[in-house]
Structures are given as C-alpha cells and as structure tokens.
C-alpha cells in the first residue's frame, strides 16, 4: 500500500482552469485549493489522516459538506463532481499534487469535452410512482372484491382487506410496467442526456414506475416541470418526486479513462 505518511489530497471536483480567488472551506472546515494542469483544475483539500469513516451521522454530515463545495463550484461554472472520500496519496517520487496534475494532464481532452457537455446544465432527478389505491380503483377484479367486501362481517372483511391490498398492488405493478415506456419517452424528450436511477425512494403504498436523472440546460428546467405537470394532470394516481437542479453527479463519468 502507498505510504500513508505522505500528505494526500482529498478531491471534490474537476473544473475549468483559469479561475482564481478564494474557494472557501470544505469538509470539517478544511481550506480548499486548486491543482491546475492545462486548462483544468481539481478542487482539493490537504488531507493527512485516513479516509472518512465513523458513525452514519458524521458520514452524512460530511457528504453534505462535500456536496456544498461541489454545488458552490457548479453555481460558478461547469464541474465534474468527484465521489465522496476520494483521496489521492503521494509517495517519495511524486507528491499527491503532482499525481493529480499528471492525471488532469493525461485526460485533459476527455475531461474538457465532458465539461463542455455539462456547461450550463444541471441534473434533475425524477421519480414517478403510482399510488396503488387510486391507480387500481378501476380494476375489475379490485371492484369485484370491493363489492364483495361490503357485504361481509367485520372479521372476514379484515382478511379480505389484505387480499384487496395485494390485488391493488399487483394491478398497479402491471399498470406501472405499461406506463414506463410512454413516461420514459416523454421525459427523455425534455433532456439531452439521461441516466437511469436503479435506486428509488417510493413512499408506502406507492409502486415505482421509473427513476431518471436528466441533464437539462438550466434555462429549460421548466420544460421538464411542464411535462411532469401534464403527466400529473393526465394520471391523477401518479406521485412525483422531483429533485434538483444539481451539479451533474450522474453525468461525470468519463468513458475510457480507466485502465480496465
């Protein structure tokens, strides 16, 4: 392993170079610096200890502090965000600063091209789900069971209610599968670049339909909102989670920069 005694650099983001001025502070009030090469700069803090760990609460706070730095840089210009807890170590031959500068230099064409693609754009995260009671209200099997339920004594009704919920969930899941292609097509039409989010955060009783990250020009954010508004008007059972605009977290990967 790399000698841990050498000073490392904690990375926040890659930005266009040339900018000067105070960057302020980052995680745990660490002072921020730029490491520049060609027309690029990495925003870093000097890091002598190991990786961040500890209680979830501390990690959460530091992730937020990391995101605040990235967000600040993004408000000022294009950024490629770096994941939390990426620390570049130095060694006797090359200090961390030279490692980072060398990396920027080697990948400058790709980094610059990617920065161009995200300039003036932000990431919007959209999650669409269906509330199962509403979505399945018209399903014939649900209607039949509901009618049957009315006529039953309370004890039986309780058992049947569970069955009803199950039926609603099944019907809603089928509907979600049917809706996905259409909703995806409509949202994709509002954004020049998209990424699918595997992880969704649906509330109880809501069946997820799709989760997308959209990379959208910042002056066109409302077009996504208008499309979502239309979708909501057409499909009253939809529940929409709509987050952003953010730095382009989902669009910072650089195909071809790994050695694998």
Partner 1 sequence: MTEPSAAVAPPQHPQGGLVGPALQPTRDLGATLPDLLDALLDKGVYLDLDLIVTVAGIPLIGVNLRAAVAGVETMLEHGMMRGWDEQTRAWVRESLARNVPLSADEEVVARMPGGHRRDAPPGDWRPGTVYLTSRRLLVWRADPREMLWQAALEDIIGIDLRTERSVGGEDRDRLAVTTRAETALLSVAAPGRLMALLREHGPDAPTHAPELRAQVWYLEERRGAPAWRGGTGTLGPGGLTWQGAGDVSPAVRAREIRTVQVRRARTPVGRQVLLVSADEGTVRLATRDAAWARALTSSVHEHSGGDPCH
**Residues 27-66 interacting with partner 1 (rule: CB under 8 A):** 50-53, 59-60, 63-64, 66
Rounded Cα distance between 8 and 11, Å, is 10
169 binds partner 1 (CB under 8 A): yes
Of 16, 34, 36, 85, the one binding partner 1 by CB under 8 A: 85
Interface residue with partner 1 among 37, 45, 73, 99 (CB under 8 A) is 99
Residue 202 backbone zone (phi > 0: left; psi -120 to 50: alpha; other: beta): beta
The residue among 153, 135, 157 whose CA lies nearest residue 145 is 157
- What does the alpha-carbon distance between residue 183 and residue 235 come to, in Å, rounded to a whole number? 11
Closest contact distance (angstroms) between CB of 31 and partner 1 is 19
Measured from the CB of residue 37, what is the shortest distance to partner 1 in angstroms?
Answer: 13
Select from 73, 164, 194, 206 the one that contacts partner 1 (CB under 8 A): 206
Does the footprint of partner 1 cover residue 196 (CB under 8 A)?
no
Q: Which of 67, 133, 146, 149 binds partner 1 (CB under 8 A)?
A: 67
Closer Cβ to partner 1, 17 or 129, answer by number: 129
Structure tokens at 137: 């209200």
Residues 6+ apart with CB under 8 A from 95: 6, 7
Are 42 and 35 contacting, i.e. CB atoms less than 8 angstroms apart? Answer: yes
177 scored as a contact of partner 1 (CB under 8 A): no
């Amino acid at each position: 392993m790399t000698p841990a005694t050498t000073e490392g650099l904690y990375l926040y983001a890659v930005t266009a170079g040339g900018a000067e001025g105070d960057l302020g502070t980052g995680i745990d009030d660490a002072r921020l610096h730029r490491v520049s090469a060609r027309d690029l700069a990495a925003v870093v803090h000097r890091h002598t200890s190991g990786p961040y760990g500890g209680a979830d609460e501390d990690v959460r706070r530091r992730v937020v502090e990391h995101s605040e730095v990235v967000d600040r840089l993004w408000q000022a210009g294009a950024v490629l965000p770096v994941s939390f807890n990426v620390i570049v170590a130095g060694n006797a031959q090359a200090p961390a600063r030279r490692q980072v500068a060398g990396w920027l230099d080697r990948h400058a064409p790709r980094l610059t091209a990617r920065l161009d693609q995200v300039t003036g754009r932000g990431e919007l995260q959209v999650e669409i789900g269906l509330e199962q009671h509403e979505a399945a209200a018209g399903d014939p099997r649900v209607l039949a069971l509901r009618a049957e339920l009315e006529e039953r004594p309370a004890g039986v009704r309780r058992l049947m209610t569970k069955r009803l919920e199950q039926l609603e969930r099944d019907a809603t899941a089928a509907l979600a599968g049917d809706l996905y292609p259409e909703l995806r097509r409509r949202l994709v039409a509002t954004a020049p670049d998209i990424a699918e989010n595997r992880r969704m955060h649906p509330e109880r009783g809501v069946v997820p339909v799709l989760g997308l990250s959209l990379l959208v020009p910042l002056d066109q954010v409302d077009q996504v909102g208008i499309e979502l508004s239309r979708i909501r008007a057409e499909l009253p059972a939809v529940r929409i989670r709509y987050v952003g605009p953010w730095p382009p977290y989902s669009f910072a990967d650089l195909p071809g920069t790994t050695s694998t």
